[in-house]
Amino acid sequence: MLANKHVLVLGLGESGFAAALWCCRQGARVRVADTRTAPPYLAVLQQRVATPRSGIQGVQSPGTNWQFEFIAGEFDKSLLVGIDILVLSPGLSGGLMVVIHARAAGIPVIGEIELFAQGLRELAGTKSVAPVIAITGTNGKTTTTALTGHLLAAIGQRVGVAGNISPAALTALMEFQDNGALPDVWVLELSSFQLETTESLAPSAATVLNISDDHLDRYIDLNDYASTKARVFQGDGVQVINRQDSRVKRMMLAGRKAMSFGLDAPTNSSDFGLQEVAGSLWIMQGEQALLPVDELAMSGLHNAANAMAALALCCALGFDATRFVPALKSFKGLPHRVEKIAEMDGVDWYDDSKGTNVGATVAALEGLQRKVVVILGGDGKGQDFSYLTKAVKRHARAVVLIGRDGPLIEKTLVNCGVLMESASDMSDAVKRAKKLAQRGDAVLLSPACASYDMYRNYEHRAQVFVAAVKELS
């Protein structure tokens, strides 16, 4: 399908690298463009592809004597000369003028996940192809993806876990091919950016875990964002629905098999939920008690929801839920996602630096089920912080504010009746939180904001937080 096609790959990040290498391996002639003169994957791509050449000024039409070329600089419609297919990296907007020109010229604009889907269909002609589980949502998708892969591997399935979680889907596919054994099941984490350019994935089971404000700098509004997430339900696979999220519930399609999960009691035999049994809260499938929530190694009720989503996705492939109980107990979660890092003087300290939007922070506050001193603030990305009000009022003992949008959060929460203090930096925030917390409380870094106003990324923010907590102990 790609042999002798002329392909333009825009953006040489992890996804763009995988797409470019895949297209070259399929016999395409590939032009890669990036605004950076030395993007991080360029050197390794040049090593992996035969007869590479690079240029910074000007574009030559694809000829017969090369397979790959790299063009650095601002994107220009001259990049489209001789091009049959444009592969757009997920970090780049479909509103770029070069993309608009491509569509006007009738050039298909697709993404790396669409190339993956097409590659799987081509494999279907030669051998049995593994089912695909696809996972998206505003929050919890990386944890749920990793957990789903963990559950399936624990019962002996060979699993390909890839996508937004890393590695890229095509990188994983090429590695499996090179090793001579394809997986039994694919588990893909998909972002809304990836879904924008995906048309034909048709997973065997898929879920949208939840929808809340995020990436509104890229989408017209929350409805536009939600409709992009709903693209994960393309095809006729099983829909796994969060029955307590009204936007997700509206994504249910007539005639499609569906399973649901929620923090309430399940309503039928295939659905998952929580119910009190002999004084303890249990994860249930229908009327069958699977395990107590407090036996999960992950903290918070939001992680119980993630666990039930993972179970439902696995069961959608025909497996029995009871087979996964031991693996559920052993999964410890992922770093920087309501991760317990310390206990001092009867107070537990949690790193949820990955809580970069309001929905994630609300879930963390509600999930800990105790009074919390929460550290909020950073780059708010234009979010509506009023959605924090109810959870802060109910669960927070105090709020410590950091970063550029700390004052905006304070203004929004001023009538919550909760003590608020502003901190000059993370060390100051941790010291203030320690003074405000009482025995039995939790201190939670869950900023509801991106980190770029103060830190390199959310991992760096977490490192600074952990170091500040260690200084107190």
294, burial (CB in 10 Å: exposed 0-12, middle 13-18, buried 19+): exposed
Report whether pLDDT(75) > 60. yes
- Which pLDDT score is estimated for 50? 62
pLDDT in tens, 81-93: 999 999 999 999 9
- Which pLDDT score is estimated for 123? 85
Report whether pLDDT(268) > 90. yes
Whether 179 sits among the annotated catalytic residues: the reply is no
- Which pLDDT score is estimated for 49? 86
Structural domain boundaries enclosing 417:
339-472
Q: Quick one: 279 and 164 in the same domain?
A: yes
> 134 to each of 204, 229, 255, 402, 455, how far by Cα in Å?
8, 11, 20, 36, 31
Q: Quick one: 398 and 296 in the same domain?
A: no
Q: Which of 348, 369, 379, 320 is nearest to 445 (CA)?
A: 348
**Phi and psi at residue 157, in whole multiples of 5°?**
-80, 140
**Phi and psi at residue 133, in whole multiples of 5°?**
-105, 130
- Which pLDDT score is estimated for 34? 98
In a domain, 246, yes or no: yes
- Which pLDDT score is estimated for 1? 85
Whether 215 sits among the annotated catalytic residues: the reply is yes
Average of per-residue pLDDT across 189-197 = 98
CATH number at residue 19: 3.40.50.720
Return the DSSP state at 29: E
Q: Quick one: 294 and 413 in the same domain?
A: no
Residue 84 neighbours by CB distance under 10 Å: 15
Q: Quick one: 181 and 266 in the same domain?
A: yes
pLDDT in tens, 25-57: 999 999 999 999 999 999 999 998 864 455 433
Task: Name the residue with higher pLDDT: 51 or 429.
Answer: 429
Q: Which of 361, 351, 375, 354 is nearest to 467 (CA)?
A: 351
Helix (H, G, I), strand (E, B) or coil at 291: strand
Q: Quick one: 70 and 134 in the same domain?
A: no
- Which pLDDT score is estimated for 55? 46
User: Which of 69, 91, 110 is the endpoint of a domain?
Assistant: 110
In angstroms, the CA 283 to CA 263 distance is 9
Secondary structure (DSSP) of 336-388: TSSEEEEEETTEEEEE-TT--SHHHHHHHHHHH-S-EEEEE-SB-TT--GGGG
Q: Quick one: 182 and 280 in the same domain?
A: yes
Vertex 240: Cα angle to 235 and 241 (nearest 5): 115
- Which pLDDT score is estimated for 307? 98
pLDDT more than 70, % of the chain: 95
Residue 179 neighbours by CB distance under 10 Å: 8
Q: Please report where in the chains the tokens 């509103």 appear, as a residue.
A: 95
User: Which of 54, 75, 110 is the endpoint of a domain?
Assistant: 110
Average of per-residue pLDDT across 329-351 = 96
Q: Quick one: 32 and 69 in the same domain?
A: yes
> 377 to each of 231, 400, 406, how far by Cα in Å?
32, 8, 5
The single residue of 6, 139, 141, 381 carrying the catalytic annotation is 141
In a domain, 1, yes or no: no
Q: Quick one: 228 and 271 in the same domain?
A: yes
Return the DSSP state at 149: H
Q: Quick one: 145 and 252 in the same domain?
A: yes
In angstroms, the CA 194 to CA 333 distance is 24
Q: Quick one: 118 and 77 in the same domain?
A: no
Q: Quick one: 50 and 84 in the same domain?
A: yes
* Largest separation between any pair of C-alpha atoms in the chain: 73
Report whether pLDDT(463) > 90. yes
- Which pLDDT score is estimated for 127? 64
Report whether pLDDT(58) > 50. no
Report whether pLDDT(63) > 80. no
User: Which of 110, 140, 169 is the endpoint of a domain?
Assistant: 110
CATH number at residue 252: 3.40.1190.10
The single residue of 164, 242, 303, 306 carrying the catalytic annotation is 164
pLDDT in tens, 121-148: 998 776 678 999 999 999 999 999 999 9
Q: Which residues are within 8 A (CB) of 351 and not within 5 positions of it... i.e. 6 or more apart?
A: 335, 336, 338, 339, 341, 445, 462, 465, 466
Single-letter amino acid, residue 471 = E
- Which pLDDT score is estimated for 125? 72
Q: Quick one: 156 and 284 in the same domain?
A: yes
- Which pLDDT score is estimated for 61? 41
Predicted confidence band of residue 323 (pLDDT cuts 50, 70, 90): very high
pLDDT in tens, 219-230: 889 999 999 999
> How many independent structural domains does the chain possess?
3
Q: Please report where in the chains the tokens 């666990």 appear, as a residue.
A: 307
Predicted confidence band of residue 80 (pLDDT cuts 50, 70, 90): very high
In angstroms, the CA 30 to CA 133 distance is 30
Q: Which of 71, 116, 67 is nearest to 90 (CA)?
A: 116
Q: Which of 313, 303, 424, 314 is nearest to 375 (CA)?
A: 424
Predicted confidence band of residue 312 (pLDDT cuts 50, 70, 90): very high
CATH number at residue 450: 3.90.190.20
How much is the pTM? 0.89
